[in-house]
Amino acid sequence: IASAQIDAWIAALFFPLARILGFVAAAPLWSTAVIPLRTRLILGIAITLAIAPALPPVPTAPPASLGGLWIMF
C-alpha cells in the first residue's frame, strides 16, 4: 500500500467523520449528557462508514496539510 493510497483513504473517511461528529455533538438529541461519549463516537463512525461510499469524490489535498485542514472547517 502506497502512501498516496493511505492519504486517499484517510481523506475519504476523515473529512466526513469530522463533519458528522460535529453534527452529533451539536444535535440536541445526541448532545445530552445521558448518552455516553463512546456511544456518540461509535454512532458518528457508523454513519460515516454507511454514507462514505455515496459521497462525491473528496478533494486531493492531504488531510494533514493546511489545505486539508481548511477543507475540514
| Listed ranges 2-6, 15-19, 28-32; the one with the highest mean pLDDT | 15-19
Average pLDDT over residues 9-23: 84
Here the cell at position 32 is 445530552
pLDDT, tens digit, 9 for 90 and up, residues 22-34: 888 888 887 788 8
Distance CA 55, CA 59 (A): 12
Distance CA 53, CA 38 (A): 24
